Amino acid sequence: MNKIWAPWRMKYILSDKKEDGCVFCNAYMTKNDEEKLVVYRSEYSFVIMNLYPYNAGHLLVVPNKHIDSPDLLDQNSKLDMFNLVTRSMQVLEEALHPDGFNMGMNIKRVAGAGIEDHMHIHIVPRWNGDTNFIPIIADTKVISEGINDTYQKIKKVFKD
């Protein structure tokens, strides 16, 4: 049997996973961006890494306002979020060199929204060959880099 080592996961396994309030509102209000994995802030929205990523570099673009649907966004927020989506793709291309992207929003619980009260846009970098038999056979996704290492790469490119 082959073993997959991921020692950084122990911090997550032993942590208290319940958070008071909205996880995105808490990230918006934080004084410690690195702790909450916020990589960039703009006037109307921000970019945060997904703590439970589908792939390394999985980003979320989140409006600063606590709303549950894009139809509640004002025009400035819509434009800002879309600009952050395209900027995030450019940053991911420079930092991680993916071969493509998946993007989307899950609006309401029935659509798969894990955080249904605060809308957000997923940007998932993809690489040729990044899917394999492990998710099918073992119901496990292998993320090939620690989230803090990926955070530093992405944050550096956003700063430049």
Q: Alpha-carbon torsion 82, 88, 93, 96, what sign?
A: negative
Q: How many CB atoms lie within 10 A of CB 89?
A: 17
Find out whether 106 and 18 touch, Cβ atoms under 8 Å.
Answer: no
From the candidates 58, 118, 120, 122, which is the catalytic residue? 120
Q: Is 58 a catalytic residue?
A: no
What is the rounded distance in angstroms from the CA atom of residue 154 to the CA atom of residue 45? 17
Residues recognised as catalytic: 120
